Chains A and B, each alone.
Chain A
Amino acid sequence: MDNARIDKIIEKHHGEASSLIQVLLDIQSEHHWLPKAALKRVSEKLRVPLTQIQHIATFYKAFSLVPKGRHEVHVCVGTACHVRGASRILDTLQELTGIKPGETDLELKFSLETVNCLGCCALGPVLEIDGKTHGKMTTAETADVLKNYQ
């Protein structure tokens, strides 16, 4: 991500230090991760110490300091999904992808994340891949769904 683009985002938020999180969210959503160079640029432009930016970038779940895989797999582990067996779905996914929540595989195929509630509890347990919801999952179906993503 080049500096001109970052400057544009900062401009959109009027270059105020209080909009730091909003700026980082915009960078994250365009670029899918936060490269160190981008953080440095934001630090200079907003005059916020890099230590503070680093803390924010690691404190909030929406940010990633490493590149993400082609497919983002979100497993809902909200309470409703949990009592309906979400942990078994998560186990199956870990088994199939070989990665843990928060990780991305070496081929950059999948990134696995747990989310706290997708707000479609009627469909629980729920799995979301690249924004598409797969509801009422069983362990067997999870494997079938995952096969559709290359």
Chain B
Amino acid sequence: MSEIIFEIDGKEVKAKAGMTILEAARSVGIKIPTLCHHEALEPFGSCRLCTVEVDVRSWTSLVASCVYPVAQNIVVRTRSAKVDRIRKMILELYLAHAPDSFELQDMAQEYGADKNRFEKEASFCIHCGLCVRYCNEVKQKNAVGFVDRGSRKEICFIPEIAAQECWDCKECFPLCPTEALQAAFVLSQALYTPQK
């Protein structure tokens, strides 16, 4: 694998081809905020908090660092007025759904996000997909999945599978950035009476 040299926040960074900007940044201790990212899982690119500014041949654009592959001589900025503005807006959009999430509150403080910017619609879930992907990719049980699309998208357990698999696992619980999953799971358990 060839070595790729590029720049993050003015620092020269060496990375292996095929790595993402996020991986390369973290390998040298540069922080980029994320919600839907997890080392054990395939990059998903849904929360967009990891958005950074990239100059490719003097062409600047915003990209999701968790899925953008490193390339020779690119220049990355992990903070800028625009990046911060976008992260703030994303957090505000999230906070409408999960105003009490500690993880979100911490980030909100850093980016000056106002949790009251949008009307509250406390659904808890922010669709980061960590539980769904973990159950699929790591556990390969597929007890929890997504349903529907757009703003109606939700997570949903398959009761028959959940009844067999989840009780002794619950590994997705600590992954959830809003602790919503537990609520959904408990609800689903309550609703489902296993057939004898």
Contacts and interface: CB of A to CB of B under 8 A. Distances in A.
Interface in B152-177: 156, 158, 161
B145 A49 contact: yes
A50 interface: yes
Nearest to B132: A51
B40 interface: no
B148 A49 contact: no
B158 A51 contact: yes
A92 to B, nearest CB: 25
Nearest to A50: B158
User: Chain A: interface secondary structure?
Assistant: helix
A49 B133 CA distance: 13
Interface string A21-64: 00000000000000000000000000001111011001100000
Nearest to B148: A58
A51 B136 contact: yes
Contact of A59 (B132, B143, B149): B149
Contacts of A49: 136, 142, 145
Nearest to B152: A58
B25 interface: no
B102 interface: no
A20 B146 CA distance: 17
Nearest to B149: A59
Given A50-B158, A50-B161, A55 B146 contact: yes
B46 to A, nearest CB: 14
Of B145, B148, B161, most buried by chain A (CB within 10 Å of CB) is B145
B142 A55 contact: no
Interface of B: 132, 135-136, 142-149, 156, 158, 161
List the 8 closest A-B pairs by CB distance, nearest first: A51-B145, A49-B142, A58-B147, A58-B148, A51-B142, A59-B149, A55-B146, A50-B158
Given A50-B158, A55-B147, A59-B148, 6 more contacts: A50-B142, A50-B161, A51-B135, A51-B136, A54-B158, A55-B145
30 contacts: A49-B136, A49-B142, A49-B145, A50-B142, A50-B145, A50-B158, A50-B161, A51-B132, A51-B135, A51-B136, A51-B142, A51-B143, A51-B144, A51-B145, A51-B146, A51-B156, A51-B158, A52-B142, A54-B145, A54-B147, A54-B156, A54-B158, A55-B145, A55-B146, A55-B147, A58-B147, A58-B148, A58-B149, A59-B148, A59-B149
